[in-house]
Every structure is written in C-alpha cells, then in structure tokens.
Chain A
Amino acid sequence: MATNPFRRNNAFKKNLPKFFQYLILSFVTLIFVVPIVILVFGSLKTRGEMFSLPYTLPNPPQWDNYVKILSMSSFWIMLRNSLVVMLFSTAGVLIICSLASFVFARMQFRGKDLAFNFLTLGLMFPITVAIMPVYLVVRQMHLIDTLLAVILVQTAFGLSGNILILRGFFLAVPVELQDAASIDGCTAFDFFWRILLPLVRPALAAVGALTMIVSWNDLLTPLVLLNSSSLWTLPLGTMQFQGQYSSDLALMAAFVALSAVPAVVFYLFAERQIVTGLTAGALKG
C-alpha cells in the first residue's frame, strides 16, 4: 500500500481528490444513519414531546417507553418465540446441510451431479413464491399454528443456498487428508465428524450467522403459518403492534428499536462471519 512508492505517487494524481470522496461517503452515511437516529430519538421522548419537538435530541431522555415495553409479557413471549425458531432452524440448517455437503464434496456415487443440481434448484424459488403451496401442505399435516412448522419451513428453504456454500468450503479441504485418514482405517463418518467438521468451523460459523439473521428477520413464514398471538415472533408481533399503537408514535418507536437491538448487536459481533457467508454464497460456491 503506502510502502509502494508507485501507488503513493498515483494517489496524488487521482481524479477525485480524497476530500471529495469523503464528502460523498459522509453524505451517503447520513442517509443511512439519520432514519435510525430519528427512530432512537423518538423512542426516548414522551408522547407530547413527539408532537412538539419531533426531531430534536431527547433532552432529557425519557426511558418510560422502554420500561413500558420491557414490562409487557407479550414482548418477552415474542422474544422467546423468535429465539426458539432461530436456534432450531439454524441448528437444522447446519446439521442437514453439512451432512449433505459432505457427501457432495467427498463421496463418489452414481447420480451425484443430478442429486446436487436437484437440491440446489431451490435457489430459483424464493420463499415468497412458494409460501402459498407450502401453506397447503402444512395445513394438510395439521401443523398450522405451531412453531415446529415455522422451523421446518425455514430449514427447508435454507437448504439449497447453504449446501452450495458449505460444499465449496468442504472442497477446499485437501483430499490427501481424507486418503491418509482412510489408510489409517478411518470410516467416512469418522473423517467427517473428527477431522472435517473441526477444520471448517469458520465456514459453519458463517453459515450459522447468516441463517440466524434470515430466520430472525423472517416475516412471511410466521405470518402465514401462525395464528395465536402467544406464538408470534418478533417481526410478526412488531407488525401487529404497529397497527395497534399507531397513535402513540414514541411507544411504537421504542418497540421497534428494542426489536432491532438483538439483530444489530449480533451484527456488530458477527460481521465478519456474516460477510464471509454472504460473499461465499454469492461469489464462489
């Protein structure tokens, strides 16, 4: 970088001076940050302040809205439901996809390509397109209004993309390792369980983080498959809350901000994994 004199020399000649670059970037940053800041400011105001001083700093901040929401049992129930769905569908995706990806990356059998193409066909059908047919089948199985249905559907629709991603990572593990293990009498399962999985832990973390975000934010599956408010997940509950409390904007802002907190905190901690997962999925399978 800076040690390369050629590049440093070139930097001076750039058509866009650095200052101009940062000006544009700062402007775009504002566009991305201001909506979130207004939401957070609003959530720290009383209902009256929200009317009289809608865009100022909350001075002093009113934590009442947050207290009110955190003392609602329905908020905690939604949080729990979201967590249950997220953990189980992520576990499901990780287990099922790593098993299948291992076979596709490391085992030989007739019809392998066909099976792989078949399983990755799901990439062409986003959940929105398929939710209506899925609803019919879930109804037929008498699983409507259960969290299990949401978990199964989210897992099923996570398969194609994640099998593709994990197979890529598994293929990157040297074949010699498997040959050596096999000579030492290691079965395919032993190799998978004791050698391969520990080696690809970063890949599993990436797939897991991405699946968690997708599951956590999913609105359509719970919206279609769940009825009882005791089973609502956070996105579904937030949507209903917005309809119910549209007159109290400050309280609604607090609810929205609180339901965003887990995702944002998780993102800040797992940014590297999420980015790895996304770019691996999109750039090189």
Chain B
Amino acid sequence: MNMTQARKGDLKTHKRTYSARRVQDYLTIAFFLAPAFILFLVFLVYPIFRSVYFSLFDWNGLGPAVDFIGLDNFKQILTDTIFMKAVGDCLLIVVLSLCLQLPLALALAIMVGRDLPGRAFFRTIFFMPYVLSEVITGIIWLGLFNPDPSRGFINALLILIPGVQAQTFLSNIHQVMACVFIVLTWKYFGLHLLLYLAGLQNIPREVEEAALIDGANKWQLTQNITIPLLGSTIRTTIYLSVLGSLTQFPLVWIMTKGGPVNASEVMATYMYRFAFVRFQLGYGSAVALVMLLICLAFSVGFLRLAGQPDYLGGI
C-alpha cells in the first residue's frame, strides 16, 4: 500500500520534470537556431526577394525606384550579345575544367597514390596556390604573362625557342581565355588533387589487393576499381568545379576586367560592371537573378542526373 503510493508520487514528479525538460528543450532549440536563421534570412533570402523587386525597374540607385519597366531588363539581358558571350566564356571554362583540369588532377592523384614517399611534401606544394588569395594569384600571373620578355617570364622562355616570338597573351582576344584558364588551373588544381587524395585514402586496401591477386594489371585496377570507388569524390569535384566556373570573378577582374573588348567577359564581371561600375542597380539585379537561376538550374539538374554529391549532405 505504502509502496504503491510512493510509486505514484514518483511518477507524478517524474512527469512534471519531464514536461519541464521538454519546454526547456524547445527553448534551447529556438535559441540555438535563431542566430543562424536570422542571418540567413536577412542576408540570403530577403536580398533575393528584394532584387526580384528591383529587377523590374530602371533604377540607378539614387532616390527611390519609380521607373517600372516590367521584364524589359530581362529581355535586354537575354538579347545582349555581350551577356551571351559571358555565358559562353563561363561554359568554356566549365568544359575545359571538366575535360582537362579534373582529369589531370585525378591522374596525378592516382599516380601519387597513398604510399609514395614525399607524398605530403607534394601535396603541400600543389595546394599552396589555393591558400593564396585570388588577388595575389592574379597579380603574380599578370606579371608572368607580360608581353615584354624582359618583364614577363613566360615570354622570356618562349623566345628561347627558335622561331617563336613573344606573345601578347592577356591583351590578345584569341589567347586571353586560354591564359585565364591556365591561371584558374594553377589556383584550383591543388584543391581537386587534395580531394582525390583524401578519397583514395578511403578505398579499402583489401579491394585493390584482391583485384591484383585476381591478375588485374595496373590499368585495369585504375579503370575498374579505383575510379568507380572514387565516384562520390569525383561527383563532388565536378559540382564544385562547375559552380566555381560559373561564378568566377576575382581572378578575371584582376587580370583582364573582362577585356580586351569583352574577350574574357564572364557572367560575374558582366554583373559587376553593370551594378557597381555603371550603377544600373535595376539591371544589375536582373543579371544577378539570371545568374542565380542558371546556378540553381545546374544544381537541380546535377542532383537529378548524378545523384547528390556527399557535399550537399541532406539536400
């Protein structure tokens, strides 16, 4: 009798503390999530809606936006040959990155493998440019590409070859994109290499050894074991590389400002020029939205086709 009473009382207090704890938990959740949500809403979500509004105006940023022009900004963007050139240049960088930069990084990573003595040293060197800012990288290569062989190292090397003359590189409309791509590769090669090397570490050694015992040669091993098992890493690097290529800004701005005569214009430099050099904020908002839609379309399409890269975790 006494015992059951005691137990009942116990249960009651337990219930009370349980619900008190539940309330406390909800408060914790609310307080812990609040800062992230507030920053995210204020600086990511709200701005996008804000620029949807302004993209419908012809607005130079002075005074309120009153000159409502509907979708004219978007029409103008999509018919502007320079914007189309910018999209084309971005796509060119995407294609070159996927066809040259990533395969080279993958090949080098597989060559280094996981046991090569000096592996850490090479990784440190190759990754170094990633740590340097785009500004520093751009200025360094601006010097290397100098058309005057006594100032530009690449030309100094070139004229050593008989019959080859100094090139104008960044001021040549036919060479400038190749130069930009070389610098992008120099800067981001290490990142991809690093990710592949980390991915290689995750491949169980036993699988490779089993294949070797079964008589696979090095090439078959790479083709049938290593690369398929690196699949999720490769997907991740493709995703990062494409998104990075579509939104590249600082390197191009430092080296060429999109020139000469728009020969190296990318979407971001186009957007920056209209929004922050000419101060056509309405038009700039519209360009930003078009870029955003292109990135979004790519992300969604990529997730559909390739499955989600681990990078995107829960999405």
Which residues of A come within 8 Å of B, CB atoms? 1, 6-7, 10, 14-16, 21-22, 24-25, 28-29, 31-36, 38-39, 42, 51, 54-55, 95-97, 99-100, 102-103, 107, 109, 113, 115-126, 128-137, 140, 152-153, 155-157, 159-160, 163-164, 167-168, 187-189, 213, 216-220, 224, 234-236, 238-239, 242, 249, 252-253, 256, 259-260, 263-264, 266-268, 271, 274-275, 278-279, 281-285
> What is the chain A residue whose CB lies nearest that of B237?
A282
Please tell me if the beta carbons of A32 and B133 are within 8 angstroms of each other in the complex.
Answer: no
Among the interface residues B50, B136, B271, which one has the most CB atoms of the partner chain A within 10 A? B136
Chain A contact residues: helix, strand, loop or mixed: helix
Please tell me if the beta carbons of A282 and B292 are within 8 angstroms of each other in the complex.
Answer: no
Please tell me if the beta carbons of B275 and A132 are within 8 angstroms of each other in the complex.
Answer: yes
Shortest Cβ gap from A136 to chain B (Å): 5
Question: How many residues on B have C-beta within 8 angstroms of the other chain's C-beta atoms?
Answer: 97
Is B88 part of the contact surface with A, judged by Cβ < 8 Å? no
- Top 7 A-B residue pairs of the complex, sorted by shortest distance between their CB atoms: A285-B313, A133-B47, A217-B133, A156-B43, A132-B288, A133-B51, A128-B247
A274 to B131, CA, bound (A): 10
Contact partner of A132 among B33, B212, B284, CB < 8 A?
A: B284
A185 to B191, CA, bound (A): 45
Contact partner of B195 among A10, A134, A283, CB < 8 A?
A: A283
**Chain B residues, CB < 8 A from A136:** 47, 50-51, 54, 281, 285
Is B116 part of the contact surface with A, judged by Cβ < 8 Å? yes
Shortest Cβ gap from A39 to chain B (Å): 5
Is B166 part of the contact surface with A, judged by Cβ < 8 Å? no
A279 to B144, CA, bound (A): 32
**Chain A residues, CB < 8 A from B43:** 134, 137, 152-153, 156-157
Asked whether A263 and B132 contact (CB < 8 A) given A29-B122, A124-B299, A132-B51, the answer is: yes
Is B140 part of the contact surface with A, judged by Cβ < 8 Å? yes
**Stretch of B3-11, B94-102, B149-157, B169-177 at the chain-chain interface:** B149-157
**Chain B residues, CB < 8 A from A120:** 312-315
Among the interface residues A25, A129, A164, which one has the most CB atoms of the partner chain B within 10 A? A129
Please tell me if the beta carbons of A249 and B143 are within 8 angstroms of each other in the complex.
Answer: yes
A38 to B155, CA, bound (A): 14
Contact partner of A31 among B115, B118, B186, CB < 8 A?
A: B186
Shortest Cβ gap from A134 to chain B (Å): 5
**Chain A residues, CB < 8 A from B314:** 113, 116-117, 120, 164, 285
Q: Mark B120-148, 1 if CB is under 8 A from A, else 0.
A: 00101111110111111001111110000
Among the interface residues B144, B190, B311, which one has the most CB atoms of the partner chain A within 10 A? B311
Please tell me if the beta carbons of A36 and B28 are within 8 angstroms of each other in the complex.
Answer: no
Contact partner of B136 among A96, A157, A256, CB < 8 A?
A: A256
Asked whether A39 and B131 contact (CB < 8 A) given A103-B32, A124-B295, A282-B311, the answer is: no
Please tell me if the beta carbons of B313 and A164 are within 8 angstroms of each other in the complex.
Answer: yes
Please tell me if the beta carbons of A132 and B313 are within 8 angstroms of each other in the complex.
Answer: no
Is B159 part of the contact surface with A, judged by Cβ < 8 Å? no
A29 to B129, CA, bound (A): 12
Please tell me if the beta carbons of A217 and B134 are within 8 angstroms of each other in the complex.
Answer: yes
Please tell me if the beta carbons of A119 and B36 are within 8 angstroms of each other in the complex.
Answer: yes
**Chain B residues, CB < 8 A from A1:** 115
Shortest Cβ gap from B163 to chain A (Å): 22
> What is the chain A residue whose CB lies nearest that of B248?
A128
Contact partner of B151 among A213, A219, A249, A282, CB < 8 A?
A: A249
